[in-house]
Structures are given as structure tokens and as C-alpha cells.
Copies of this chain bind each other. A is one copy, B any other.
Amino acid sequence: MPDAQGRMIRAAMELFAERGFEQTTAVDIAERAGVTERTFFRHFADKREVLFDGSATMVHTVHEAILAAPGDLSPLEAALTGIVAAGDLLEERRDHAVRRSRIIAANPSLQERELLKLAAMVDTTAEALRKRGAPEPAADLAAHSAVTVFHVAFASWISEQAQPSFAECVAQTTAALRKLM
């Protein structure tokens, strides 16, 4: 049976949405996907990780986009270029992103994992900025700020009925942030 991993991801999303994360056992997911519990844990380090499959790709995209950005951009501008590139990935599957974020919002232990992934995005962003020559603590602070923008822009992107593009949300959020300082 092909694409066991994809089947497990879909099964997990369905079950988490139907009855919640805590009420779903690893065995439940494995059964619905037609595999054994052991196979589930071979593909995912833990039960939560099944929702975070794409996160490595996103972090990688951010990294590449920052290194490819024009050299004369400020650290913050370069970091935001990476954020917009990450947003493009979400844009391709808006519906999936919305359902996933609802599931995560409903469970603190999933929120923890999401925060860890965002922290990885901060680290990667800061590293890319340093490669471009940004000094500390500017690299670190710009990375944190960019991921904050990502976080807040994402929330408005999925909540608006107007359905603006992710890049627009980033632009608006960035403007608001600049105004604060």
C-alpha cells in the first residue's frame, strides 16, 4: 500500500478534528491508516510530530530565501523576505493550514510543539542573517521580530473573511510593528 506516511497524516488530522488530540491514541491513527502502531512511531518521533511534517521544509525555504535576498537589504528586511517565502508555501494549501491551526489551537501540548518549531525558525533565520554579515545581537533580534511578524500575520491571514494574501498580512503587520518603536 503506497504512501503510508501520507495516510497516517490524513488519518491523524481526521481523528484529531473529530474527537480531539488527547482522545485519539496512536493505535487509532495507525489502524485508520492501515498500519501498526510500531510503524507509526517509525515515521514520527512522537504522536504530536504527525502534525509538523512540513515544518522542516518551511524552515529550509526561509533559509534559502534569506541567502538569496539582495545584499543591500537590512537584516530585518532580509528576514521578512524569508517570511514571505514561507508564506507562499502556506498559500498553496490554505485550507489545510486553517484546519491544522484549529487542531493545534485546541491543545496545549500541540501548541508547545508549534512554539518549538517557530523557535527553530528563529534560530535558522538568525543563522542566515549572520551568514549575510549581520552582527549580534542584531541578527538574533531581527530573527525574533520576523518570526513575530509571521506569527501575527498568520493569525490575521486565517481569521480575515476578506482573505487577503499572506504577503499583504506581512506588510500590514510589519508596518504596525515599525510604528510601535
CB of A180 within 8 A of CB of B119, answer: no
A142 within 8 A of B: yes
Copies of the polypeptide in the assembly: 2
A32 within 8 A of B: no
A61 within 8 A of B: no
CB of A180 within 8 A of CB of B74, answer: yes
Stretch from A16-24, A81-89, A92-100, A148-156 that touches the partner = A148-156
Chain B residues whose C-beta falls within 8 Å of the C-beta of A141 in the assembled complex: 148, 152, 173, 176-177, 180
Q: Whole-angstrom distance from the CB of A30 to the nearest CB of chain B?
A: 23
A108 to B, closest residue via Cβ: B116
A2 within 8 A of B: no
Main secondary structure of the interface of A (DSSP, over half): helix
CB of B144 within 8 A of CB of A151, answer: yes
Q: Mark A135-151, 1 if CB is under 8 A from B, else 0.
A: 00110111011001001
Q: CA separation between A138 and B137, bound complex, in Å? A: 24
Partner of A152, one of B111, B144, B179, B181: B144
A113 within 8 A of B: yes
Q: Whole-angstrom distance from the CB of A163 to the nearest CB of chain B?
A: 18
Chain B residues whose C-beta falls within 8 Å of the C-beta of A56 in the assembled complex: none
Chain B residues whose C-beta falls within 8 Å of the C-beta of A179 in the assembled complex: 138
A42 within 8 A of B: no
